[in-house]
Amino acid sequence: MTLVTTSKDLDALTMVVVAEFDAGIEQVWQLWADPRKLERWWGPPEWPATFTRHDLVTGGESRYHMTGPDGEQPGGYWQIAEVQEPTRFVVRDGFTDEAGNPAPGDPVTMEVMLDEKPGGTRMTLTSTFASAEQLDEMVKMGMEEGLAGAIEQIDGVLAEAA
C-alpha cells in the first residue's frame, strides 16, 4: 500500500498526506510533471481528471477538470508558485467557473515534497487552508478520501512506466 498517513491539524489549518513508492524520485516527479501521467491518477477513480494546460514551472499555470459519474465537469486551476525539480513544488489550487476562470474564494496552497528513501521515494503533500471553515468545507466535500483514492492509483501508473 502506498498511502502511509493522512492527518489534519486544525490549529495549523493543514491536511498532510504521506505516501511511499518503490520508484526513484525522477519517476515520481514525472507523475506530476507529465500531464498525461497526472491524468491517470489525479482525482479519485470515479472522478478522473483531464488537464487542458499544464506548465509545471515557477510562474506557470495548470487548468483541469474532473468528470463525475453523471458527466458533470467541475474545473480547477493551479498557479505554480515555486518549483525545485525534482524534489518540491508549491501551487495555489482553486476552483474555476464555467468559463475556466478562477472562481471567487481563497485557493488552497499545496506543497509537494519528494524525498529519496531506501528503495524508493516518499511523497509528502501538505495542503494549507485560508481558514478553519475552508478546511472543514473541503473535508465535507471529500478531499481526504479523494486524495487517498487518487494516490492509491499511482502504483499502477508507475508499474506501466517500468
- Read off the pLDDT of residues 26-51 as tens digits, 9 standing for 90 and up: 999 999 999 999 999 998 889 999 99
Query: Is residue 161's pLDDT more than 90?
Result: no
Domains and CATH numbers, the chain: 3-15+33-156 (3.30.530.20)
C-alpha cell at 13: 489549518
Distance, in Å, from the CA atom of 102 to the CA atom of 78, rounded to the nearest integer, reads 9
Is 51:34 a contact under the CB 8 Å cutoff? no
Query: Is residue 1's pLDDT more than 60?
Result: no
Q: What is the pLDDT of residues 62-108, one digit of tens each?
A: 999 999 999 999 999 999 999 999 999 999 999 999 888 999 999 99
Query: C-alpha 93: how far from its chain's center?
Result: 9
Q: Which helix (H) or strand (E) holds 123?
A: strand 120-128
